Amino acid sequence: MKGSGKIIKNKVDEKATLRRRVKALEREIAALRKNEEKFRLIADHSGDCLWVMDLATLRFMYVSPAVTRIYGFTVEEILGQGLSNVLPPESLAMVRKILEEELALDAAGKADPKRMRTIEVEEYRKDRSRVWIENVLSFLRDENQQPVAIVGVSRDVTNRKSMEKELRSLAITDPLTGAYNRRHFQDEMQREISRSERYAHPFSLIMFDIDHFKVVNDRFGHEVGDRVLKELTAMIRGRIRTADLLARWGGEEFMILLANTKLRSAVRLAEDLLKQMQAGTFSGVGRVTASFGVAAYRKGEGIDDILTRVDNLMYKAKRGGRSRLACDPDPSAAT
């Protein structure tokens, strides 16, 4: 009897233990459901798009409703789609490279498994227009801590990127003409000197100054004078290559940097610009001319050396009667 009583007691204890485990499991399930409800509530009402992508197929397994506001897709339309459906080619290449790097770090055990990475890329909307998206990414892991999915939070930062671009533009351009400013031109010129010294690439400068511009301002007013500067800038832009740099050097002085260009070609361009100004007219003013100086970079020169030479050449043209050009006399620069 004592043995049977012990057996009964053990069974009672097992049932009690089982009930406690069941109760604990129910509490865990309830907590998980509560957390899931909280996650869903946050995801459904967040302005950012929360998503989960299967790592093996790189297809979306979950997306929050914000996908419609940011991308124009419904949740149903985006589920099952892959990276190539939402990323332009250049963004896709960058994301794949980053993913390869992260997986390599993971395989080598050299990174925190809870790490996050933030990237900014252009992405497609449903209508194939593009938006700039900031993505905060991390891996979702299985019980063996192996990555099985990517968890992401995506935010539209198009307006911020536009403002950054505008600020960069304001920092390097002349506000009146839209040509580059002096500081940016000097920075680019220093880089061009470095390239020329390293690879023996030629480059040339054209400097020109509008003749008697003070008379234009005094006679017609500064508003008309400003319009002349804008029209002249537009004319020059129409004649130079996209690789060339046009800057407003100061007042009515301008500078053109001609990359990979020898003196002879630079002189031809300056002659064409001079003739175009001599033959043309400017709104409200009529004929406006300029004096040009043209110089080619010489090996070993510093930035001040070539700037001084081209400035002297421009003033030589002015002293010679204006509406003309003076060029670098160095025969080796023309070969």
Distance CA 316, CA 294 (A): 11
Q: Which of 135, 130, 149, 172 is nearest to 49 (CA)?
A: 135
Contact 178, 248 (CB under 8 A): no
Amino acid, single-letter form, for residue 300:
G
Residues contacting 100, CB < 8 A, separation 6+:
none
Is 252 among the catalytic positions? yes
Run of H or E including 167: helix 158-172
- Angle at the Cα of 280 from the Cα atoms of 286 and 320, rounded to 5 degrees: 90
Distance CA 270, CA 168 (A): 30
Catalytic residue among 123, 192, 231, 252: 252
Contact 75, 68 (CB under 8 A): yes
* One-character DSSP codes across 88-125: -HHHHHHHHHHHHHHHHHHHHT-S-TT--EEEEEEEE-
How many residues in the chain?
A: 335
Residues contacting 141, CB < 8 A, separation 6+:
113, 147, 148
Catalytic residues: 252
